[in-house]
Amino acid sequence: MVWQSKARRFGALGGDVSSFHGRGGATAKGPGAPRIVVVAALLAATISGCAGRLARFDYEEPAAPPVPPPAPRTAPAGPPAAPLSPASNPLTRDQLLAFIHWRNNKLDGPSADHLADLIIADSQAANLDDRLVAAVVAVESSFDATATSCTGAEGLGQLMPGTAQQLGVSDPYDPDQNLQGTVRYLAWLLALWNGRADLALASYSTGINTVRHEVASGQSLDSTQMHYVQLVRGMYERLM
């Protein structure tokens, strides 16, 4: 998959989404409590669909540098994802607002207006496709600025605390800060992988080191990573 031109059009396999991350936690006491809590937490994460995120930031994420490091010369095995044809028309504010309300019908008008303005402005400032940014936020949090996942990811772009800090996000539940950090992170990942949207999204979902290992060993993206790419593409296509 190749990121196309200034608009940075997105391409991957298709899909749809109806997922959301909730809050949760438990405490226990007694000699066997730590082991019981760990086992119970892993089981709960698997059942709730959060198991994929357990590996997302299982290492220290590198801070986003001014100049991204070069991507590896090799790519995962298997056929490349089919590119998505660029949209003939730019995304309009009304179109984005309708999409935000479709994804989160509990969001009030002023909040939706603010999010639409942020997505358009921050995407343009970073030279990113605003459709891609909106699609990622739709999958990650359904445009809920207060969202917290079962593994601790926070806010609109579901940034982990360490990553948020490295991106200069002091309050991940502040829509302005979180979206700016999300856009910066996406832009850095796309530059890291020379515009390969599938690798950038897989890195966003399961971690940079995981994808680097797959690329270095010539492996294809796994089913969890491809599912995430498909979810984002499904949202992206609704904005076409």
Res 50: pLDDT:
57
Q: Are residues 104 and 51 in the same domain?
A: no
Q: Are residues 114 and 222 in the same domain?
A: yes
Distance CA 109, CA 125 (A): 24
Residue 86 placed within a domain: no
pLDDT band at 35 (very low <50, low <70, confident <90, very high): low
**Domain encompassing residue 193:** 91-238
Q: Are residues 37 and 107 in the same domain?
A: no
End-to-end CA distance of the chain: 18
Q: Are residues 40 and 108 in the same domain?
A: no
Above pLDDT 70, what percent of the chain?
Answer: 63
Report the half-sphere exposure of 134 (CA within 13 A, side-chain side).
Answer: 33
Q: What is the pTM of this model?
A: 0.70
Reported as a single tens digit per residue, the pLDDT across 211-223 is 999 999 999 999 9
Residue 175 placed within a domain: yes
